[in-house]
Structure 1
Amino acid sequence: MSDLFLGTVSQHEAEQPLPTRRSRSRQDGKARRNRQRRNRRRRSVLVIIMAICLVGGAGYVVTSIFSDFFGGLFGGSSDTAEISDYEGPGTGEATVTVVSGDTGGAIGEKLVEAGVVATTSAFTKAYAANPLATQIQPGAYKLRLQMRASDAVDALLDSANRVSLKVTVNEGLAMSQIFEKVSGITAIPVADLEAAAADPAALGLPAEANGSLEGWLFPATYQIEPGATATALLSHMVGKTVEVLTANGVPQDQWETVLIKASLVEREGKSPEDRAKIAQAIENRLDRGMRLEIDAVLAYGLGKPGTALTNADKEVDSPFNSYRNIGLPPSPIASPGEVSIQSVMNPTPGPWIFWCTVNLETGETKFAETFGEHQQNVAELRAWEAANSK
Structure 2
Amino acid sequence: MTDLFDEPLAGTADPDQDRANSRRRAHRRRQAKRRAQRRRNLITFIVMIVAIALLIGGAWVLIRPMLAGDGAATETISDYPGPGTGEVQIVVNTGDTGSDIATTLVDNDVVATSGAFVQAYSNNPDAVGIQAGTYTLQSQMNAADAVAALLDPASRSDLTITIPEGWRATKIYARIANRLGVTEEEVATAAAEVAASYLPAEAGGEIEGWLFASTYTVQPDSTPTSVLQQMVDLTVANLDERNIPAEDRAELLIKASIVEAEVANQDDWDRVARVLENRLAGCTGDGTLGMDSTYAYGLNKIATEITRTEWQTEHPFNTRIVPGLPPTPIGAAGPGAVDAVLNPPEGDWCYFVTVNPTTGETRFTADYDEHLVNQQMYRDWLAAQTAAPEETTEGEG
TM-score with structure 1 length normalisation? 0.58
Q: Indicate which of 269, 288, 291 corresponds to 1:294.
A: 291
Give the match for residue 270 of structure 1. 264
Give the match for residue 309 of structure 1. 306
Identical positions, percent: 37
How far is 1:189 from its partner?
Answer: 2.1
- Measured in 2, the distance between the counterparts of 1:184 and 1:247 equals 31
Tell whether the 8 Å contact from 1:203 to 1:238 is kept in structure 2 after alignment: no
Tell whether the 8 Å contact from 1:93 to 1:142 is kept in structure 2 after alignment: no
Give the match for residue 206 of structure 2. 212
1:332 and 2:329 matched: yes
Question: Runs ≥4 in structure 1, deviation > 4 angstroms?
Answer: 89-94, 140-144
1:188 and 2:192 matched: no
How far is 1:305 from its partner?
Answer: 1.7
Unaligned runs of 5+ in 2: 1-81, 88-133, 139-154, 388-397
Of 218-227 and 286-295, deviating more is 286-295
Amino acid of the structure 2 residue aligned with 1:380: M
- Measured in 2, the distance between the counterparts of 1:92 and 1:381 equals 63
How far is 1:197 from its partner?
Answer: 1.7
Amino acid of the structure 2 residue aligned with 1:254: D
Q: For 1:137-195, what per-residue CA distance to the aligned partner results, in whole angstroms no more than 9, with x for missing partners? A: xxx99589xxxxxxxxxxxxxxxx87101110100000000001111121132122211
Unaligned runs of 5+ in 1: 1-88, 95-139, 145-160
Q: Indicate which of 252, 256, 263 corresponds to 2:250.
A: 256
Q: Indicate which of 329, 348, 352 corresponds to 1:351.
A: 348
- Measured in 2, the distance between the counterparts of 1:259 and 1:202 equals 19
* Matched residue SS, 1:198: helix
Amino acid of the structure 1 residue aligned with 2:331: A
Give the match for residue 387 of structure 1. 384
Q: Indicate which of 225, 230, 241 corresponds to 1:231.
A: 225
How far is 1:235 from its partner?
Answer: 0.6
Distance 1:241 1:203, change over 3 A: farther
Tell whether the 8 Å contact from 1:272 to 1:343 is kept in structure 2 after alignment: no
Give the match for residue 339 of structure 2. 342
Q: Indicate which of 160, 166, 175 corresponds to 2:160.
A: 166
Amino acid of the structure 2 residue aligned with 1:222: Y
1:245 and 2:239 matched: yes
Give the match for residue 136 of structure 1. none
Give the match for residue 26 of structure 2. none
Tell whether the 8 Å contact from 1:203 to 1:231 is kept in structure 2 after alignment: no
- Measured in 2, the distance between the counterparts of 1:93 and 1:364 equals 56
Which structure has the greater CA radius of gyration? 1
Give the match for residue 275 of structure 2. 281
Over the aligned positions, Cα root-mean-square deviation in angstroms equals 2.7
Q: Which aligned pairs between 1:28-39 and structure 2 lie closer than 5 A?
A: none
* Matched residue SS, 2:362: strand
How far is 1:270 from its partner?
Answer: 2.4
Q: For 1:253-283, what per-residue CA distance to the aligned partner results, in whole angstroms no more than 9, with x for missing partners? A: 1110000000000001223331100100010
Tell whether the 8 Å contact from 2:194 to 2:225 is kept in structure 1 after alignment: no
Give the match for residue 322 of structure 1. 319
- Measured in 1, the distance between the counterparts of 2:238 and 2:197 equals 17
Q: For 1:220-263, what per-residue CA distance to the aligned partner results, in whole angstroms no more than 9, with x for missing partners? A: 11111012111111110000001111212322211100000000
